[in-house]
Structure 1
Amino acid sequence: MAKKKKWQKRYVVVKVESAYGVASPDMTGATILEVVMLDGGNPYAGNTAERERQREGFGAFEQVNTGPYVERQIRVPYAGSGTAGEAPAYDPLLRACGMSVDVTADPAPSVVYQPGSEDEESLEMWWMEDGQMQHVSGGRGDWSLTADSQGLPYIQFDLTALYRKPEVAADASMATQAVQAKELPINKQNTTANIDSHQACMSSLSLALGNTVQYLNDINCESVEITGRQATGSTNIEAPDLASKDYFSAVESHNGVSLVPVTLTHKDAAGGIIELKGSQVQLSSISPTNSQGIMHYDIGLRFLPTGSDDNDFTLTFK
């Protein structure tokens, strides 16, 4: 009887490429990620065309993939490495989504990521599935952060890469197991938030990097490119008295747009700090909601850069 492949026996190995789309011969220098979830994704995606023919009679036609590529989804804990000034294990995923990285020791050790608009790095990935693997290269993508109160926060990466057929799994012993602190729940003990100097009673905050990711397949050229970005998000907060904070004035845009700072600071189990900070955030919408019998507001967020400075927001591990 043929061996049945176990869904649970899956993991992923990643590495930043030194040359775009050029696969490494082995996993030297690659990282085995600690992940919350690996989606099945689409290991053979692509646009299709039908070979249509005129004939006497009905029926379907052959369908041809005109440019195969791979789509994968990875969810990782929203936590750092556990060491101040050391990049998180999922650093290759952030960089493959167009995030620049700056390691600094002043005034304290920290690793700072922010979006970029050129010179995006790329990723190669070994998708391991109980004895077989799909080793793909040229990967780039998008990510989103989910931070809900009394839940465990996570970052979800949606990646697109150049197609390569699955094969028998290679030896992963040359890859390094990720050093990953354990994520802590979003709550009063671990998390603080600030919207325009107001410490809102917040039940959730989300951020979507908003990359436009395009697979290109032309004569002599094949690649995955990031061609645009609009960082947006939302937050759900308890509705304050207008005298304490007038969120309606902040949201109004018919007579001028207000841009305010928004910060979410969270610690991981090793005592490290992760700070998400947008300096120019538009509160774009407001909607009353019911949360356990308490009036809350759902507020839309637009993280804006200063001109062409790519400073929509920063994600700092310190």
Structure 2
Amino acid sequence: MLTTKEAIALKIETTQGVEAVPDPTADAILVSELSYANEGLRMVERPLIKPTISTEQSIFAGTLKKLTFTAEMKGSGTAGVAPEIGQALRCCGMSETIGASVVYQPVSEGHESCTIYYYQDGRLNKLVGAKGTATINAEAGGLGTIQFEFTGKDAGRVDANFPTLSYNATVPRPFIEVPFSIGAYDAIINSFSLVFGNTISTPGNVREPDGYAQVEISKRDPNGSIDPEAQKISVIDFETKFKNGELMNMTTGDVGKSSGNIWNVTASVGIRDISSGERDQRRTDDLTYGCHETLGDDEFTIEFK
């Protein structure tokens, strides 16, 4: 089986844990860096006392599955139409608001779940009731990407040939000509990251065949990092803002210039740590930050327009 011949299709479920049957012509997501593994695997040991020193066979007592993949940050090609990763974002504890643009932001209840079909070269793996978290990364001269990490219930695997797959043809724009700012200061950065910070809870449930209740998002702690070039204190004093616990508005500004293929991230942030860094013999202030709500469930937003 070739690792270069794999694909996923993801569809939101009407009822968590009930297979939604993703359509590979409508629900496929173009991805890279696919990984699929057991999560919370229970192998019960039997520490029996007997005449020999050999170990008894462990007993399988249930597992969940974890699927991770990376997708490109890009629009759908049409303003006001959800991007290819839209359903995946919604299943990471985000609401979706569609108007002239499509906006995603965290919510504290009503989290949606999804069914994911993971096609390998000759095999289909099914994941149901899945919820997850994500991390956005962008670096000057590269493409913005988002890494998803989903946990769900194992719905089995079968031999299957590749179906007909359709992907959105929009080409992503590089992370350049971006008017990044923090606290109304036009910072010169090389890299940006935003971690959704969702806590995925997997409580036990003896009634279930795998011994686990439904997967839930029980907490979030959005955070990230940036690396602005250092300036004189009279220009920007990040150290004082850090010590004073000052909240600042941070925005990437628009990435891309063509309607339908523009994205941006906006957040209310407070600096959690500051250290001295270096980039090509230039001093940087390497900042880690946390996102914090101001009116409730508004720590950050992701907009496609």
1:154 paired residue number? 145
Written as runs of structure 1 = structure 2, the 5 A alignment for 1:1-318 is 5-24=1-20, 27=23, 30-39=26-35, 41-43=36-38, 46-104=41-99, 109-169=100-160, 172-173=163-164, 177-187=166-176, 189=177, 191-220=178-207, 222-253=213-244, 257-268=245-256, 270-271=258-259, 272-278=261-267, 280-306=268-294, 309-318=296-305
8 Å CA contact 1:147, 1:154 repeated in 2: yes
Question: What is the CA RMSD across the aligned residues, in angstroms?
Answer: 1.9
3-state DSSP class of the match of 1:51? Answer: coil
TM-score by structure 1 length? 0.88
8 Å CA contact 1:263, 1:276 repeated in 2: yes
TM-score by structure 2 length? 0.92
Q: Which one-letter code corresponds to 2:227 in the other structure?
A: N
C-alpha displacement of 1:265: 2.2
- Give the direction of change, closer, same or farther, for the CA distance of 1:180–1:211 in structure 2 (3 Å limit): farther
> Matched residues in 2 for 1:44 and 1:252: separation?
39
> Matched residues in 1 for 2:293 and 2:80: separation?
25
- Give the direction of change, closer, same or farther, for the CA distance of 1:310–1:168 in structure 2 (3 Å limit): same
Pairs aligned (count): 300
Q: Which one-letter code corresponds to 2:289 in the other structure?
A: L
> Matched residues in 2 for 1:123 and 1:303: separation?
26
Q: Which one-letter code corresponds to 2:49 in the other structure?
A: Q
> Matched residues in 2 for 1:138 and 1:193: separation?
37
8 Å CA contact 1:124, 1:137 repeated in 2: yes
3-state DSSP class of the match of 1:164? Answer: strand
> Matched residues in 2 for 1:25 and 1:201: separation?
45
- What stretches of structure 2 of length at least 5 have no aligned partner? none
> Matched residues in 2 for 1:65 and 1:313: separation?
41
> Matched residues in 1 for 2:104 and 2:129: separation?
21
- Give the direction of change, closer, same or farther, for the CA distance of 1:268–1:35 in structure 2 (3 Å limit): farther
> Matched residues in 1 for 2:292 and 2:303: separation?
18
3-state DSSP class of the match of 1:251? Answer: helix
